[in-house]
Structure 1
Amino acid sequence: MKYSLCAVILMAGFWVTSCNSGVEIERISPENLVALSSFISPQDSIVRVYVYQGKALGDISRSETAVISDAKVTIEEEGKIHTLGFESKTNSYEISNQILKVTPSKHYTLQVTTKSGLVLKAACTVPSNPDTLLFESVKEGNDFVFSPVWPEKTSFFTFSFELKNVIFNPKLGATTGPYLGVVTGNNLYESADRPNKLLENKVYNAFLAETISLKITLYSLDKNAFNYMKTKVEAYNWSANTSGLIPNLREPQPVYSNVQGGVGIFGSYNQSINVIIIK
């Protein structure tokens, strides 16, 4: 699961002048504002941390020119401190998961110290291993309609769908092969705000294929990752519904940050995969 830090950088100056995110970043001057981003998981082979220099409101800067490459970046787990090295190909600080060994239910603390002496800290706890995501399904003509079943042991989660092992031979009257319906709405869930039914989706023309499978990935999120993703979606929706001709009368809300001494996100996730043979 990959995420871009561009939104963090673009929103940094906006946060400083407009909102209170829970972290007192309005007291940080633009030249001292640093943004970081990192999501850790037991399934990732490499742990990465992205560190950027913030900009004042109205400034424009390409993300590659804002990269901070000379900071000291460490992650601590159970008293053991691991130092991450900067990798120019990815513009991030990296360490092998074989060395750090991100483990379910463990607590990790990230610290970034810049050359100018700024210190940023953040912490997260990796979710326990989630159960396999089950689902309910029905055949409607040539379509496969399915709806995931609520995972009882998971507090915060999202999921993704992907078609696998598709063999389709176009025929007269059936020239369009299987495809997934577009997911609309908020695909982020929490136990405290449980809806009556999870998102329903459809594999169109599924039963026209010779063979086809559906891969469902459940991502169990820690609270930091969930809050960041939820508020990032809300910020995107606010921006998309704002223009010079049609102003958005709602107040803009800050993107969640759990970083002390700066802005950004240090979150974690765990995942399980279920592959269903449709035909």
Structure 2
Amino acid sequence: MKIQNIYKLLCLGLVLSLGACETDVTKEVNIDTTPKLAVVSFISPQDTVLLVNLQKTQPAVGKAMSREEARVPNATVQLSDGSQTFTLKYEPTPDVYRLSASKLPVLPGKTYYLTVAAPDGYTVSGSCTVPRTEGVRITDITVTNKALDFPGGPTSMEVFSFKWQDAAGQPNYYRTLGGSRESQDPINPNGPPRIEPFYFSSWNDKNKNIYSDEKTDGGLFSSGEGGSQMPASQVPPKPYWLHATLAVTDQHYYRYHRSVYQQADTDGNPFAEPTLIYTNLQGGLGVFAAYNEVKGSKRVE
């Protein structure tokens, strides 16, 4: 499970006209400069390892902490399903707390609880419920060529997309995770299949790969375009298999990622309205959320 290091969880821009004033700004505007704990953890039934990333937030004003100073290696981090509780082990590299999913299986429809206790009185807690996937299915998977206009580069690339059916009568949230093409290696036809991944990127997806059925309950959704790193001239011969992976997420996962994308869109724009990063944690910042994968396949003759 790859967790992106997205921890711009506390942002404050100060534009000051400095004259002969030497007043302490933090006292005038009552800014709390005390660091908080920032916690990010996503759990899924498809996980083999459960991870919790933990660090201190940077102060709103004053000297920034180094990466080493922001680390919290001596916390007690626990995950529970309400009946059994496990303490996660800290690993300095890559600075995460982890637990084997075999000890605490993540099951659809079940609620899980995260608690964090660290020195200096830090305590953080949160909960999330793993989404069910009944009624959600991938209906169509396609791959086509897209013309490119890069001088000296390839003239076209492979573009991957898919559609899925929403489960009606309930709130649903989604994220398109990606896809792949599976084919026999023409150089070694008796060897393992060759897997070519397709990656969804925000530059070609206005929804930033996250979706809500708030206005399209029970409808048919279409993903953005996923690009392949393989030039179209090297596409393997047919037949081959196309695979798609969709995440059915809880509301916390959706709202957290939407706020991160919204903040990124306004970064550097002095006229944009500030966006706060969504959090569902008590006593700290960050998110504890869940998702459940739905997969689809198509054989291309």
TM-score (norm 2): 0.72
The aligned counterpart of 1:213 is 241
Question: Equivalent of 1:158, from 175, 190, 193?
Answer: 175
Cα distance in 2 between the residues matched to 1:71 and 1:28: 26
Quick check: 1:40–1:267 contact (8 Å CA) kept in 2? Answer: yes
Q: Does 1:255 align with 2:259?
A: no
Q: Does 1:225 align with 2:253?
A: yes
Quick check: 1:219–1:270 contact (8 Å CA) kept in 2? Answer: yes
Q: Rate the CA distance shift 1:105–1:138 in 2: closer, same or farther, 3 A.
A: same
SS of 2:4's partner is coil
The aligned counterpart of 2:3 is 3
The code of the aligned residue for 1:55 comes to Q
Q: Does 1:199 align with 2:214?
A: no
Cα distance in 1 between the residues matched to 2:288 and 2:199: 32
Mark the structure with the bigger radius of gyration. Answer: 2
Quick check: 2:164–2:220 contact (8 Å CA) kept in 1? Answer: no
The aligned counterpart of 1:174 is none
Structure 1 unmatched runs, 5+: 18-25, 170-176
Question: Equivalent of 1:113, from 100, 117, 121?
Answer: 117
SS of 1:31's partner is coil
Cα distance in 1 between the residues matched to 2:36 and 2:160: 48
SS of 1:227's partner is helix
Q: Does 1:134 align with 2:139?
A: yes
Q: Rate the CA distance shift 1:109–1:27 in 2: closer, same or farther, 3 A.
A: farther
Name whichever of 193-202 and 263-272 sits farther off: 193-202
TM-score (norm 1): 0.77
Shift of 1:50: 1.1
After superposition, where does 1:53-92 map in structure 2 within 5 Å?
Answer: 53-57=56-60, 59-92=63-96
Cα distance in 1 between the residues matched to 2:287 and 2:50: 14
Cα distance in 2 between the residues matched to 1:32 and 1:139: 49
Segments of 4+ moved more than 6 angstroms: 138-145, 177-181
Question: Equivalent of 2:206, from 175, 178, 185?
Answer: 185
Name whichever of 211-220 and 107-116 sits farther off: 211-220
SS of 2:222's partner is coil
For residues 197-231 of structure 1, give each alpha carbon's deviation from its aligned partner in whole angstroms, at most 9, with x where no partner exists: 52354889599630333221010101111100111
The aligned counterpart of 1:23 is none
Q: Rate the CA distance shift 1:93–1:30 in 2: closer, same or farther, 3 A.
A: farther
Cα distance in 2 between the residues matched to 1:27 and 1:46: 42
For residues 10-65 of structure 1, give each alpha carbon's deviation from its aligned partner in whole angstroms, at most 9, with x where no partner exists: 332x1699xxxxxxxx9994334111110011111111111101121254445454
Question: Equivalent of 1:94, from 87, 94, 98?
Answer: 98
SS of 1:149's partner is strand
More helix by share: 1
Q: Rate the CA distance shift 1:213–1:60 in 2: closer, same or farther, 3 A.
A: farther
Q: Does 1:48 align with 2:69?
A: no
Shift of 1:82: 1.4
For residues 76-115 of structure 1, give each alpha carbon's deviation from its aligned partner in whole angstroms, at most 9, with x where no partner exists: 2123221111112221111110001111111011110111
Shift of 1:117: 1.8
Q: How many residues align?
A: 255
Name whichever of 76-85 and 261-270 sits farther off: 76-85
Q: Rate the CA distance shift 1:125–1:63 in 2: closer, same or farther, 3 A.
A: farther
Aligned-residue CA RMSD in angstroms?
Answer: 3.5
The code of the aligned residue for 1:219 comes to A
SS of 1:116's partner is helix
Q: Rate the CA distance shift 1:262–1:45 in 2: closer, same or farther, 3 A.
A: same
